[in-house]
């Protein structure tokens, strides 16, 4: 898969030994704060890890700990993934930061520009700060989930209990619209 604004590959050396560079990894996580995936353990010129590469069980937890120490408002989930050739790599899911603005603890704000992470310029940062509160409602997806109560007698008793309670407002008790949760069908 080709690296882009939602996907990147990192060498296993980024998180292991003397060559570990969690500072750069944290910058990539901040840049992916609109959502993305890092595959750690796959070299840039390859699609698979080495066939003998194994990821220790404690490495994903260590990665999360270091990213949390070096970033603000970044949420990640690592997963050890077996490759087709028998090797292993870490799939690091970076979740969208829909309300807050992600940064490094050094105050760096970055974004993903095609296949590179780059710092935000002052005017871009200003625009991001003013626009960020609107992102949540613009990106929110309505699920239109329709649930069924397994026991209609319990539901009816619940609604009658709410309507007869002196701790519930008259406005809520009088709700009879189709989408109101107090509607009895």
Kindly list the domain boundaries of the chain, sorted by start residue: 7-139, 143-185
The mean-pLDDT minimum among 33-37, 48-52, 153-157, 173-177 falls in 173-177
Instruction: Identify the CATH class of 7-139.
Output: alpha beta
Residue with the bigger pLDDT between 77 and 174: it is 77
Two tokens at 104? Answer: 């490094």
For residue 16, give the DSSP letter: S
User: Taking a C-beta distance cutoff of 8 angstroms, is the pair 48, 83 a contact?
Assistant: yes
Dihedral sign, Cα of residue 65, residue 70, residue 71, residue 72: positive
**pLDDT, the chain, mean:** 84
Q: What is the pTM of this model?
A: 0.68
Q: Within 13 A of 76's CA, how many CA atoms are on the CB side?
A: 34
pLDDT tens for each residue of 23-32: 999 999 999 9
Helices 22-31/59-70 angle, 10° precision: 70
Q: Which strand (E) or helix (H) includes residue 104?
A: strand 103-104
User: Taking a C-beta distance cutoff of 8 angstroms, is the pair 87, 52 a contact?
Assistant: yes
Closest CA to 76 of 20, 22, 23, 38: 38
Instruction: Spell out a b/e string for 107-125, using b for 16 or more CB atoms within 10 Å of the CB, else e.
Output: ebbbbbeeeebeebeeeee
Confidence of residue 185 (pLDDT cuts 50, 70, 90): very low
């Amino acid at each position: 898969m080709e690296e882009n604004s939602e996907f990147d590959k990192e060498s296993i050396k980024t998180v292991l030994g003397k060559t570990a560079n969690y500072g750069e990894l944290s910058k990539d996580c901040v840049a992916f704060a609109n959502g993305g995936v890092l595959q750690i353990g796959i070299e840039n010129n390859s699609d698979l890890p080495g066939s003998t590469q194994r990821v220790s069980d404690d490495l994903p937890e260590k990665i999360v700990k270091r990213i949390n120490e070096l970033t603000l408002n970044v949420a990640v989930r690592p997963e050890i993934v077996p490759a087709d050739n028998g090797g292993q790599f870490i799939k690091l899911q970076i979740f969208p930061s829909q309300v807050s603005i992600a940064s490094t603890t050094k105050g760096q704000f970055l974004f993903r520009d095609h296949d590179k992470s780059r710092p935000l310029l002052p005017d871009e940062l200003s625009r991001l700060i003013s626009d960020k509160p609107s992102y949540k409602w613009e990106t929110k997806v309505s699920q239109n989930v329709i649930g069924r109560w397994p026991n209609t007698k319990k539901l009816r008793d619940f609604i009658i209990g709410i309507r007869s309670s002196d701790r519930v407002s008259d406005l809520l008790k009088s709700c009879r619209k189709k989408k109101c949760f107090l509607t009895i069908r």
